[in-house]
Amino acid sequence: MSEETDWNSGLFNCWDDKKTCCYGFWCWPCLACTVSEKLDQNRWLPICDICSPAMMSSFGIPLFVAPAALALRVSIRQKYKIKGSLFKDIATSCACVLCSWCQLHRELKVRKPDAAVVNMQPTRR
């Protein structure tokens, strides 16, 4: 069994990757959808983070945890064996969901870089 590792960047390490954080600040739904898609999930999954609090509060149920952010954070942490706990994931998703999405995006940039396209042609004899 392999050892658990740390996150490649901290929650508030925006200066490590200004492009990701600027992208997240100006259009966090786009950033969140990109993270979701990179994890082979439905790219529209993060819309739950926008709709869920409004729908739940209309029934008088306060909702503070962004469900998609929490689910994808747990998924990344388990997939790449990153140190942490469900409690920390919930706390992070409650405290700063935008920072959480940025951290997830930075993590995927390191661990799952975009695949290169290779065009192979058959050889002629």
Local confidence pLDDT in tens for the 125 residues of the chain: 578 999 999 988 887 888 887 777 778 788 888 889 998 898 888 888 777 666 666 666 666 778 888 999 999 999 999 999 999 999 998 888 888 988 999 999 888 776 444 555 666 66
Query: Is 23 part of a structural domain of the chain?
Result: yes
**Distance (Å) of CA 60 to CA 22, 50, 51, 56, 57:** 34, 17, 15, 7, 5
Which pLDDT score, from 0 to 100, does residue 88 have?
Answer: 94
Task: Give the integer Cα–Cα distance in Å for 11 and 70.
Answer: 14
Query: Is 122 part of a structural domain of the chain?
Result: no
Which pLDDT score, from 0 to 100, does residue 32 have?
Answer: 87
Beta partners for residue 12, in sequence order: none
Query: Is 95 part of a structural domain of the chain?
Result: yes
Domain count, the chain: 1
Query: Is 106 part of a structural domain of the chain?
Result: yes
Contact (CB, 8 A) for 97 and 66: yes
| Predicted structure pTM score | 0.78
Contact (CB, 8 A) for 78 and 101: no
Query: Is 30 part of a structural domain of the chain?
Result: yes
Range list of H helices, 27-61: 28-38, 47-58
Task: Give the integer Cα–Cα distance in Å for 24 and 62.
Answer: 25
Domain extent, residue 38, equals 17-111
Query: Is 1 part of a structural domain of the chain?
Result: no
Query: Is 124 part of a structural domain of the chain?
Result: no
Which pLDDT score, from 0 to 100, does residue 89 have?
Answer: 94
